[in-house]
Amino acid sequence: MGDKTMTADEAVSRLHSGMTLGIGGWGSRRKPMALVRALLHSGVTDLTVVSCGGPDVGMLVAAGRVRKLVTPFVTLDSIPLEPHYRAARESGALELMEVDEAMFLWGLRAAANRLPFLPVRSGIGSDVMRVNPGLRTIASPYEDEEVFVAMPALRLDAALVHLNRADRRGNGQYLGPDPYFDDLFCEAADEAYVSCERIVDAAELTKEAAVQTLLVKRHTVTGVIEAPGGAHFTSCAPDYGRDEPFQKRYATTPWPEFAGRFLSGDEQRYRAALQDWREEEQR
């Protein structure tokens, strides 16, 4: 219940190869990119990643860190299909479990409630069942005997999410238009690491006008990381929008070149490389 603050490197040091890792956010929106960048500097690999994918998935896939991906989509929003994910799929570089968004949600809810599965109508009669032959159906035990997909729980060894504000004990607040599934990622995980734009006093989070934006509860959180700009280049409304020019640079630059320039050091070096690039663009 005490102070859970730590650095991004300290959080990543608790992760290990072969684990199932959930990553919050949605597409190219409020992704925990500072934590993803720290993860790329580690030796952690052979991951099963569970994510409503964006550049988090793209970078980890491009770096060869992902063995299996569980997702309903992988997009940069303004760029419909994440290019590094596309390349990995076309080359067969990773195992994929692609499901409907509702099935994904129900899988997280099952894990959050420590259930082995939850029944869901989504997927019935679709190719989701064909491309995921391991999925099973279940008949209602009541009179109608309706058949549902038995969506398995998406249990996570660890989760990474990014929020607008948090206190030192792990309570987290979103201020943008959508909570996404970040609370469920934390609840579905054995350990959850929350980066945030700013750490504030608990009293600021519990002001009457702010209570409804409290999303993540401290009992589900292992560590809190203050990371201003920690979602860059994805959006973190209302603190900042998506950095569209830089996202375009990411999407159009060969991975070795991009990683060599922007991901070869710590977060401070990332910011310096980003500033150098912006100055080049203005010339």
Whether the predicted pLDDT of 187 surpasses 80: yes
What is d(CA 208, CA 103) in angstroms, rounded to the nearest whole number? 34
Whether the predicted pLDDT of 204 surpasses 90: no
Q: Calculate mean pLDDT across residues 259-271.
A: 96
Concatenated DSSP letters of 94-145: SEEEE--HHHHHHHHHHHHTT-SEEEESTTTTSHHHHH-TT-EEEE-SSTT-
Domain boundaries, the chain: 8-100+154-244, 117-152
Q: Could you read off the pLDDT of 208-257 as tens digits, one per residue? A: 555 568 899 999 999 999 999 999 999 999 999 999 999 999 999 999 99
Report the first-to-last Cα separation within the chain, whole angstroms. Answer: 51
Burial class (CB in 10 A: 0-12, 13-18, 19+), 282: exposed
pLDDT computed for residue 211 by the predictor: 57
pLDDT computed for residue 127 by the predictor: 95
Q: Calculate mean pLDDT across residues 112-122.
A: 97
Whether the predicted pLDDT of 151 surpasses 80: yes
CB atoms within 10 A of CB 16: 15
Cα atoms in the 13 Å half-sphere on the side-chain side of 270 = 21
Whether the predicted pLDDT of 10 surpasses 90: yes
Q: Calculate mean pLDDT across residues 97-105.
A: 97
What is the gyration radius of the CA atoms in the chain, in angstroms? 19
- Cα angle 99, 76, 220 (rounded to 5 degrees) comes to 60
Burial class (CB in 10 A: 0-12, 13-18, 19+), 144: exposed
Q: Calculate mean pLDDT across residues 158-177.
A: 96
Enter the pTM of the model: 0.96
Question: Helix-strand-coil percent breakdown of the chain, rounded to 5?
Answer: 35, 25, 40
For the chain, percent of residues with pLDDT exceeding 90:
93
What region does 55 belong to: left with phi over 0, alpha with psi -120 to 50, or beta? Answer: alpha
Burial class (CB in 10 A: 0-12, 13-18, 19+), 257: exposed
Class of domain 8-100+154-244: alpha beta
Whether the predicted pLDDT of 178 surpasses 90: yes
What is d(CA 270, CA 41) in angstroms, rounded to the nearest whole number? 12
Q: Calculate mean pLDDT across residues 53-80.
A: 98
Instruction: Give the bridge partners for 194, in sequence order.
Output: 161, 224
| Phi, psi (degrees; rounded to nearest 5) at 143 | -65, -35
Contact 124, 157 (CB under 8 A): no
Whether the predicted pLDDT of 206 surpasses 90: no
Q: Calculate mean pLDDT across residues 112-127.
A: 96
Quote the DSSP letter at residue 212: G
Average pLDDT across the chain, whole number: 96
> How long is the chain?
283
Whether the predicted pLDDT of 1 surpasses 80: no
